[in-house]
Amino acid sequence: MNFNKERFANFATYDLTINKSFYRNMAIVTVAGAICIALIGFFARYSMYSSIINGGMSGPAFAYTPGADSFEGYNWMYLTALYELGFFLIMLEIFAGCWAHNLRNKQGRIMELTLPATNLEKFTWHALLMLTGGLILCIVSLLVADGLNALLTLITYGTENGVTSLTASVFEMCSYKNIFNTVFLRGISGVPPINAGDNPTDPVFDAFTVFLFSTIFCHIMIYALGNAFKYKYNIILTYVALQVLGTIGSVLFFICLAAGASNMPTLTDLSSLSEDDAIQAAIITFYVLAVVVFAIGAFFLWWSYNRYTKAQITSSFNK
């Protein structure tokens, strides 16, 4: 594999010059989306906090917000952070589904495939820009949204109360334990959150978080592979394919589950395991699954490159 840094830089410069409007629009959409979610979160918290301190709103609906009658409730931004995470995941899927956007028409394929650079150099640039660059763009968008949220909070309430960092809340929500506490336990009265460091199942949550990130990586690589097969409407087609395969997989899973129910371990069998053995088994299972899923995602990335090396100017599938 011949990789020349000068050719790589020249191709990168060419791509940024020719497609600057496309990349600019992608950046604007990402930043604007992050800001919109932060603004919606700000005005929602402002409305709730103002109504609560004025005695207009109360009840179990605010169990998700600790200290709802104090400024601590206003500063509780984990739900906003969860929406930001969901938006960034969607944008990463879109970025992955656009890495081969140069090939979407015949003229673009002619220009792309005849440029003086190797397939490895061109594919590496596309992957770095749309995957790594897309992730960096999401982080920058989050920082911009966080700064705007902090500015509005300080203007509205002053500096004496301070403001919680939306960026910090987003990174805290990257832990499955924090998502579990926020989404599942906050709304259940009398159920305390799982605190870090005092629960023997903490390593299980950590292992599941690694498995979750591996699954997200594999999921994003599926969209990259979809773009390697189909240059137009690939994001929509990949989404539809995932939904169909997910439905078929769920049906087959429950059929197999029902068929093998008699051979499954009973609760009595599971209760014979000690707590430490059960926790250790769960940890090993999640880490093994994480490695397998990550390997599948890496294979999808390699497959995308393999498809790119076989791209043609005209074909029956991509006209």
Convert the pLDDT of each residue in 51-68 to its tens digit.
766 665 554 444 445 555
What is the distance, to the nearest Å, from the Cα of residue 192 to the centroid of all Cα atoms in its chain?
27
Confidence of residue 158 (pLDDT cuts 50, 70, 90): confident
More confident site: 23 or 113: 23
Summarised one tens digit per residue, pLDDT across range 196-213 is 445 555 788 888 889 999
**What's the pLDDT score for residue 59?**
45
Please, what's the b/e burial string for 55-94 (b: 16 or more CB within 10 A of its CB; e: otherwise)? eeeeeeebebbeebeebebbbbbbbbbbbbbebbeebbbb
pLDDT of 153 higher than 90: no
pLDDT confidence of residue 196: 47
pTM higher than 0.85? no
Q: Return the beta strands (E) in the chain as ranges.
A: none
- In this prediction, residue 113 carries a pLDDT of 85
The residues, ordered by sequence, that sit 6+ positions from 308 with a Cβ below 8 Å of its Cβ are 100, 119, 122, 123, 228
The continuous run of DSSP H or E covering 286 comes out as: helix 275-309
**DSSP-derived 3-state class of residue 287:** helix
pLDDT at site 177: 72
Do residues 97 and 103 touch, judged by C-beta distance below 8 A?
no
Locate 167 and state its tokens.
């960026």
Task: Write down the pLDDT at residue 63.
Answer: 45
Please provide the average confidence, as pLDDT, over all residues in the chain: 82
